[in-house]
A and B are shown apart, each in its own frame.
Chain A
């Protein structure tokens, strides 16, 4: 069958104009008829059965019934609303309130109670049941669209007026767009605030179109029917969420309540986000903590009063609704909050709002819209109704109602525009399944039907904001710290933001700092720490970290602290600094937690030694100058190998996780101790935690030491040190070079230069390898395998290079740092934005702190 032509409203009016009362299935259709009256009318003319029976004050009867039942019974709210839903629907389809009792599967104690209560309640369904029409001449338009209950009000005699004519409706072309964005923008290009009253938009209320249209209209200041409901009120939400917080438990963080606090107008600095709410002592959270702690002792009413006095928001409507629900004077309980949320999810609490402008109609709940211009959006599968899955619904009759409704909707308005997508993600969009019944053409998708394709292009002039003039002089960076450089090299934009904004405190930072402070304290005052003091320190650390960690983990943290501290003590006792007379005294820098705690100053020049070397462009803080040749850094993280340390200081290209600490500190240290072999040691004091538990810890396992040689690699390999390394290597290597002797070794290498490459295969194939091997062969006896020995030696020497810094390495680092400083000062002066990509290309996002702030260069559109 084709789409049946609906009768124009004018024709309908002419057919019904002589009647006293006209009943229609939809209220908008009734209004359209009423608008066409040509003689003055007093009293009801065209209306729906429901309105006729219930009068103008028709209310959402399910909610009214719900409010009544929860006041009168103790049944749980979900069962009550379930019963009410079934009863009303069954009533609608079967005509009496008792009909439900014939469906055993849906009858229980709650249902019976609800039936009893509702039987005495004034509701629309009740009015329909009781109402009889005594008007003499009644016309019913589209009577087949009325449900059993609605039909029950009809008088014995009335005239039936058809909704449709015998002709078919020549539907307009489908306007096909590429995307929902295009459809919405096409509408926004057409509708203005002034024409809004003439326009209706029909769409699936749950679809993306709905979000986009409402947002688009609101952003364009075009009025429309709808808008925020009762539970959209941010204070209503905040109050509910606040009540929930009280029952969330001890792990609740400041960050968890921050949205609520923000809504209440309370500002909490970001540092505290990860801290546990009930373990922090902040002025900003005092109120909320107290509110939560005492909540289960007070009534909703008292809680509202509290909230209101804190925020200045009276929340009268909320209070009234709680009162209607009989909750106002109940104690606040978790299940009450759940029930309350359920209520708001299930029922719409009426709010006063201005309904004007564009009419938004849900494709599945409207039957007719009374506007001259109607846009139909999508018209896809989502427009297909599914009949209520209940045994009392006559699905065939219901299907016919839906089909008629759909046809009427498609023809509403003087002009209808169908705006659709033909494909989504390469897949055809399925047109609403009713077309299958209504169109004789064979089609799979909209483009198979009468359709016009539109392409939209956007003026993308708007790209944000013009910069306004501002008089701020750029500052120049003269020296950079290792952590800043690491960040800058990985992602300059991340560096940019790290200079500007704070991040939340983290447990591992707090713990790491305490360990560092302890180490410094212990270097200064080894005698001050005995068993009792150590216990005290552990307790102090636990307290300091408590707000950032879980109580459950306390025994494990206690273990970690003790083992970490004892390992630090063990190391410092065995290998700590012997003297400090090689250094000039330095003024203390920063605070030491334990120095303050024990009121004992730490003033050794060896610890936490600050340097800022503007010639090098480097600055930093050395944890411990352990000897004239050794710097030490305390690390609570996992151990890295020497090779990793060297690799992470690569500059061309930089490593995936760049780390220039050792290199930079050695650059500085070599200015203090020139021409010396220097060492930088990372002391990973938690590395052996598992071994301590197992009883086989070895202090050496905690240490990673890289060496700086103040000469070139070529100079180094001809040294006795390097030669000795070869004598400690693989068999053939040892034999070959013992046989060769140091002098010959030195001479051979003095004439040669080791290749730049560190790749094994390239080394093997290099000219150096060939000439080195032949020279060694020449000077060694036939009893040794010089070929193999040299190969092993080259690998061994290469190994030294990969484990150490040589003069040229640090020279290169110095140049690299200088270049970076020049570069970043250029950015600071506004010559280009700080780029997102680091020197190694796309940043390693695991090392980026401010990912949420970094816009990439890709347009994404």
Chain B
């Protein structure tokens, strides 16, 4: 593989290693190439080692890719890099805490500790469950906060607040807030005032009222405010185009001490709860790493890096920016990103990190240095490097993609066209430009998408770039269908299945809403509780009618084949095996079944959940539609379906952007939480509980109904998603909508494309079962036996009958007596336990009676040739008593009968021959010591010939089995 030579901008980035750089790396501009080359160049400097460089990536797989590419281009091998720091923020923080974080919680006044077995809970369902449990206890412990709980419909709102505050670097301590955290909670009036004024400008040269005043015409509609709320006329002012100035302060000023105390206590106690349960969340990993680095100056000195590089900077959160500063030892900081591709605000990404880099780095440095110097380097001088040469798409596509950033997302969306000025336009490098940008809209949108793809596949007009750089007709594998939301992809896939259309899904699905999960749930219910809700499902599936199922449920006369299967499941020890058996029975052999099995088994392993808890886990999964990543495979040449988010960083010759429908993209907004944290308002509540008149009530907060219009929710991020989707394409983009296309679809300047819904049944080559090249060979050395494999196990099988009788005292009893005997013979400080039986007394007396040397629990190995085959019989001898003339082999047996003596004889005979060989000058005897009766039974050893016969018989038996 030959790598390209860097272009001049890339070269600038690769060569500029010292100082602060903000790299605006547009889509497809060879960012990874340049970053890895830069890394290689840094570490190739004398005196710089990989351990001096931190390279932070967005995902674990990106980190791996970076590592591989760096190894290819630097003199360093993986040996150096595996310990080097190329990883995500989370894993870097996790490593930091593993090594140094044991005491980190103490800096917040928490007495709990971070340990080596502390888990990171990544599963939302699990975290929600744990948080719900925490909140239940919190409610009881804090009756003083009842008023807050009365306004919350779901405590999950509180978990979101906690996560959001953590992502902003706002943490509680035992006595208040960490560092200046409280300022952010209080908000910033001046900043709010500016927003207020922005939205309160009269329009049309003063003839039209301000946007804010216009929106406030609905002030108070369907709302109930406390009696002290101002009247609408007071808020809007009369005979004016603007809301009175004074309103800004009235809106901002609010007594929030109780609210802050409430959030503080929730947050602090939840941290304590999580630690006491020995888990952390992604957010808390960063929180404790930050605290540790802030508090422990010498540690920070030790773990900071001479060079810091951060990839995908547009998707970092506020605390990650601050962590980057703390990780940096010098001003050699390089952030790489593309603000146009910032799409992770729901994971608290702050696009301002990159858009307002200079402001932010100054502000954050000042904050970190407020009490003492933590960031000692100069941060005033940063250099911008744009990467604008695009190696992916045609110029037509690149030009078109900019349009996405100024396309309205809804009818009333105000688009700020000035963002176009911030764009460093990309220039294409493509071999040819035959780009089609088209749109289809059809009521049967799934069929229309598939039909269109079939039209495009093989069509010269839609040629894509072949390996040789020449145009070639597209194949299925060249096409990706991207969607804003997840549901559409699943639907499309199921339609595709009907036609054997080659299509694979890639990304998150609602795992527990699949048939596999529901069938498993049904059988788990049959095995535990709610059996009716299990039986009904499996009976319906088997084709029983309503009245039949009803009858079966009433009488409990379940079908024999199902009863047999249930009984078989009951024998399974692990939930994984139950799942496997169920999936096998129903022919679920694919990826979905495997992901379910692994997810459930992992939850079981990582917790103390019982089967019943796992049922609840699946039920919650169905309710909440929690998502898990799966990768279905439909062969190499198939269309990929995924969400825009999961297509981040990928590229396809042809992109179909589907489900361009109203309410789907942008998605219809969910309801916002009752308690909210926003900048610059700080922490606020949308509703309050009060008892001021005849009845207690949950009142709306009038302030919120004004301030929300100042912080207008816009569709900037949705436009960026649109941009990301379009820039995945190398050659062509098709937009596809249904009956009610969205505003993007209506506003984007593409060509309509005629469409129908005929889909040809695809002619997929059928795959045949390949002969597996695996065979099970026997061992190459001697065949290994133990004395036990030579014994006839039937004698013990019949003994099982006696297992329950008093006579038989169980294997555990046997082990205990043997352990005692071993310890006592070795001279350890043990004495017989008197409680159960006299066995140990007998052993003690017996050992006391032996005058010679004792060999305790030594190995005895007897190699034998049997019909030309080498066999090794090895075992452990309980005790060998050696005197000047004799060697006595003693084996303890706790049996209360002599039924197995003949078999034991085989064992002792093996030892006998070993000892005879090893002590040729002494007389060797073998005996069993029956501990129960204090009797010693001498054994006549079998001859080597007899032992060989036994081995022959055993081997023959084994062969028969095979």
Contact = CB atoms under 8 A, between A and B. Distances in A.
B121 interface: no
Given A238-B610, A268-B529, A693-B695, A372 B777 contact: yes
Nearest to A206: B602
20 contacts: A9-B781, A35-B781, A40-B914, A41-B859, A42-B861, A190-B772, A192-B776, A211-B598, A227-B573, A237-B608, A249-B139, A415-B774, A455-B767, A458-B587, A460-B589, A464-B519, A465-B561, A500-B549, A830-B545, A855-B537
Interface string B760-788: 00000011111011111111111010000
Interface in A541-597: 550, 552-553, 555-556, 558-559, 562-563
Given A180-B594, A248-B137, A497-B536, A42 B915 contact: yes
Interface stretch (B176-184, B317-325, B461-469, B611-619): B611-619
Contact of B544 (A184, A218, A467): A467
A853 interface: yes
A552 B149 contact: yes
A32 B861 CA distance: 13
A82 B696 contact: no
A430 B537 contact: no
Contacts of B874: 34-35
A198 interface: yes
Nearest to B69: A444
A291 interface: no
A399 interface: yes
A56 B170 CA distance: 54
Interface in A821-861: 827-830, 833-834, 851-856, 858-861
B585 A43 contact: no
Nearest to A238: B610
Nearest to B911: A42
Given A218-B580, A462-B586, A241 B776 contact: no
A194 B961 contact: yes
A40 B861 CA distance: 5
Interface in A424-464: 424-427, 430, 433-434, 436-437, 442, 444, 452, 454-458, 460-464
A828 B540 CA distance: 12
B401 to A, nearest CB: 22
A259 B610 CA distance: 7
A307 B653 CA distance: 64
Contacts of A8: 780
Nearest to A435: B78
A186 B774 contact: yes
B693 A693 contact: yes
Contacts of A853: 518, 522, 533, 536-537, 540
B116 A85 contact: yes
B547 interface: yes
A228 B574 contact: yes
B133 A40 contact: no
Interface string A235-277: 0111011000001111110010011111100011010000000
A199 interface: yes
A44 B612 contact: no
B22 interface: no
A760 interface: no
A533 B150 CA distance: 27
Interface stretch (B94-102, B337-345, B668-676, B899-907): B94-102
Given A212-B594, A497-B536, A562-B695, A346 B115 contact: yes
Contacts of A37: 861, 863, 872
Contacts of A261: 529, 612
Contacts of A827: 545-546
B519 A855 contact: yes
B100 A105 contact: yes
A189 interface: yes
Contacts of A497: 536, 540
Contacts of B664: none
A458 B589 contact: yes
Contacts of B150: 552-553, 555-556
B512 to A, nearest CB: 9
Contacts of B616: 255, 258-259
Choose among B141, B506, B536 the residue with the greatest number of A CB atoms under 10 Å from its CB.
B536
A79 interface: yes
B529 A262 contact: yes
A559 B224 contact: no
Given A260-B610, A465-B559, A852-B518, 13 more contacts: A41-B859, A42-B861, A43-B858, A45-B859, A179-B591, A194-B958, A195-B776, A227-B574, A262-B610, A338-B276, A352-B812, A465-B538, A855-B519
A671 B822 CA distance: 95
B299 to A, nearest CB: 8
A759 interface: no
Interface string B591-623: 111110110011010001111110110110011
A455 B770 contact: yes
Contacts of B618: 852
A36 interface: yes
A491 B61 CA distance: 42
B81 to A, nearest CB: 8
B598 A186 contact: no
Contact of B622 (A214, A381, A852): A852
A12 to B, nearest CB: 11
A110 to B, nearest CB: 10
Interface in A190-242: 190-192, 194-195, 198-199, 208, 211-212, 214-216, 218-219, 227-228, 231-232, 234, 236-238, 240-241
A389 B115 contact: no
A10 B608 contact: no
A464 B585 contact: yes
B549 A249 contact: no
B360 interface: no
A858 B543 contact: no
B548 interface: yes
B572 to A, nearest CB: 6
B876 A56 contact: yes
A834 B543 CA distance: 10
Contacts of A434: 78
A673 interface: no
B198 interface: no
Given A436-B78, A854-B518, A219 B581 contact: yes
Given A465-B542, A470-B551, A43 B855 contact: yes
Contact of B608 (A344, A468, A830, A854): A344
A693 B224 CA distance: 8
Given A35-B784, A250-B140, A426 B640 contact: yes
Given A78-B115, A181-B594, A433 B82 contact: yes
A57 B276 CA distance: 34
Contacts of B811: 352
Contacts of A782: none
Interface in A352-371: 352, 371
Nearest to B823: A57
Contacts of A247: 137
- Which has the most chain B C-beta neighbours within 10 Å: A37, A45, A218? A218
A204 to B, nearest CB: 12
A263 B612 contact: yes
B545 A829 contact: yes
Contact of B82 (A34, A180, A384): A384
A240 to B, nearest CB: 5
A345 interface: yes
B782 A461 contact: no
A215 B574 contact: yes
Interface string A384-400: 10110110000110010
Interface stretch (A133-141, A471-479, A512-520): A471-479
Interface string B454-466: 0000000000000
B860 interface: yes
A373 interface: yes
A499 B546 contact: yes
A855 B691 contact: no
